[in-house]
Structure 1
Amino acid sequence: MPSGSVALSARPEIIGGPPPGAATLEARDACAWFGDRLVLEGVDLVMPKGKVTALIGPSGCGKSTFLRLLNRMHELIPGAALDGEILLDGNDIYAVGTRAQQVRMRIGMVFQKPNPFPAMSIRENVLAGLKLARLKCDDKDTLVEQSLLRAGLWKEVRDRLDSPGGALSGGQQQRLCIARSLAVYPNVLLMDEPCSALDPTSTRRVEETIDELRGEVTVVIVTHNMQQAHRVSDLCAFFLAEENQPGFVVEQGDTLEMFSSPRDPRTLDYVEGRFG
């Protein structure tokens, strides 16, 4: 286990929370619409348990839309619709009777722009997910410490947990958002370009956090940074939307193989920077 990480078996008991540990996420023939416009078509993708899967491709190819399908954020957009299946360890997250809040507790999300609750303290930010989901924890202090440790932020903030979360630097705010997501011990963590607004030092720290989460949480990350995809991911999926056509997956597989010897020439052109 990497230095500074926390064993899931040592977590405080969270009453009503998901069982700890990573889970396999799978999309089967996933399609998405905005109104009558098909924006994503026929995506079949397995995101294996405990692995880091990177979604790469040029802007407008449906990567972020696909990410939002994975925890039902897509259905919050007026006029949005979808088809196909999204399975978490074989269970359809869109099944009748499955509440979106339950899904989002098991499949957390970190956005492109850090979005801590600025007036809340660092401690309150970490615990916000439990409060929203009406979960109970038998040891909140330990949960706060463990969540901040797993997000790589504990050493920087342990002496000022009651300070406002909005007073942190941008990189620290992003790691606070990661800690907030991790506090409910999700099975999957979705990350939508989490480093796009960060400086190189903050980016490195977020990447270190992703590496430490490997095995404990399934991570799916959207990134436009090919070097980052190469550094942090085990698997890659290359999305593309050709002119006036919906986005689709051109190729998927082991990251090292996709970057060194992709099967499709379009993948090679993209990872070598010839377009996008």
Structure 2
Amino acid sequence: MDTTSAPLLVGGPPPGPAGLTAVGVSAWFGDNYVLDRIDLEMAPAQVTALIGPSGCGKSTFLRILNRMHELVASASLGGEVLLDGRDIYAEGTRSQDVRKRVGMVFQKPNPFPALSIRDNVLSGLKLARIKTTDADALVEQSLTRAGLWREVRDRLDDAGGALSGGQQQRLCIARSLAVGPNVLLMDEPCSALDPTSTRRIEETIAEIGHQITVVIVTHNMQQAQRVSDRCAFFLAGENEPGRIVEQGTTDVMFTSPSDPRTLDYVSGRFG
């Protein structure tokens, strides 16, 4: 079976990578001002890494990109997030429709432990009310893209919770990919994993990064260099909101950034 072309999804997002652009995005939790006027273009079919010390708003920004920020009762925001030129917060735009197109992989793997591997992959479709004409083909394709198919193809009926931590994270990636998103957000997906599992997930990012748009938060500077096309460096001063100090191609950001704070951070002098 050819697993490189997507099986038909009925009611799913339009196929292909999408551009994602933040325009003047600011964020609050109650009176706490956490992000200040973020402008960032995340190009289609590229990997954008969000780097910077803990507490500078990277994960908050990531959650704004698929409308998870609004799930916190005290949260508010300003600015626009444009998905292929259309504001995902525009009146009448449903958050569920946004999340079909902009998937999320979290820091800690969160498969449904009692569901089988196969049902874990397909669970996102049920939640999003998307149908497929060939479930078996979709399961194989999604697990292949996530770099997990060869390891689990003979035990698809085993519980997802029986997998190792690294395998569970790749299963979560497969679950997200099964919906056919245009963008995949990843919040420190390797932070709790061993080096071997980290390498496999980085290989997965390299594979899918040319097929969809990927935005990843990472504190691992070597990882940012390995997997990303572009980087955005976030920084927050004491009692100040997070801002983007500098953004650009990964090569330039790590070899000849324009701001000395960027060089200090990527060189490990702070953070």
The normalised TM-score by structure 1 is 0.97
Distance 1:263 1:192 in 2: 26
Please name the residue that 1:74 is paired with: 69
Contact 2:3 2:137 in 1 (8 A): no
Identical amino acids, percent of aligned pairs: 74
C-alpha displacement at 1:37, in angstroms? 1.2
Q: What letter corresponds to residue 122 of structure 1 in structure 2? A: I
Out of 74, 90, 96, the position equivalent to 2:91 is 96
| Structure 2 unmatched ranges of 5 or more | none
Contact 2:20 2:84 in 1 (8 A): yes
* 1:50 partnered with 2:33: no
Distance 1:96 1:215 in 2: 32
SS of corresponding position for 1:33? strand
Out of 26, 29, 33, the position equivalent to 1:34 is 29
Please name the residue that 2:259 is paired with: 264
Which aligned pairs between 1:112-127 and structure 2 lie closer than 5 A? Answer: 112-127=107-122
Out of 183, 192, 197, the position equivalent to 1:188 is 183
Out of 144, 148, 162, the position equivalent to 2:143 is 148
Distance 1:241 1:92 in 2: 26
Structure 1 consecutive aligned stretches of length 4 or more whose deviation exceeds 6 Å:
none
Contact 2:22 2:39 in 1 (8 A): yes
* 1:227 partnered with 2:222: yes
C-alpha displacement at 1:190, in angstroms? 0.2
Out of 86, 105, 109, the position equivalent to 2:104 is 109
Number of residues of Structure 1 aligned to a counterpart in Structure 2: 270
C-alpha displacement at 1:6, in angstroms? 4.2
Q: What letter corresponds to residue 259 of structure 1 in structure 2? A: F
Distance 2:15 2:175 in 1: 15
Q: What letter corresponds to residue 260 of structure 1 in structure 2? A: T
Out of 239, 244, 249, the position equivalent to 2:239 is 244
Deviations, residues 111-138 of structure 1 (Å, cap 9, x unaligned): 0000000000000000001000111111
* 1:197 partnered with 2:215: no
Distance 2:7 2:203 in 1: 24
Deviations, residues 208-256 of structure 1 (Å, cap 9, x unaligned): 0000012211000000000000000000000000111000000000000
Q: Tell me how large the CA RMSD over aligned residues is.
A: 0.8
SS of corresponding position for 1:219? strand
Q: What letter corresponds to residue 179 of structure 2 in structure 1? A: V
Contact 2:51 2:234 in 1 (8 A): yes
C-alpha displacement at 1:97, in angstroms? 1.0
| Structure 1 unmatched ranges of 5 or more | none
Deviations, residues 138-161 of structure 1 (Å, cap 9, x unaligned): 100000000000000000000000
Deviations, residues 247-274 of structure 1 (Å, cap 9, x unaligned): 0000000000010000000001100111
Distance 1:199 1:43 in 2: 33
Please name the residue that 1:214 is paired with: 209
Distance 1:42 1:143 in 2: 40
Distance 2:32 2:196 in 1: 40
* 1:274 partnered with 2:258: no
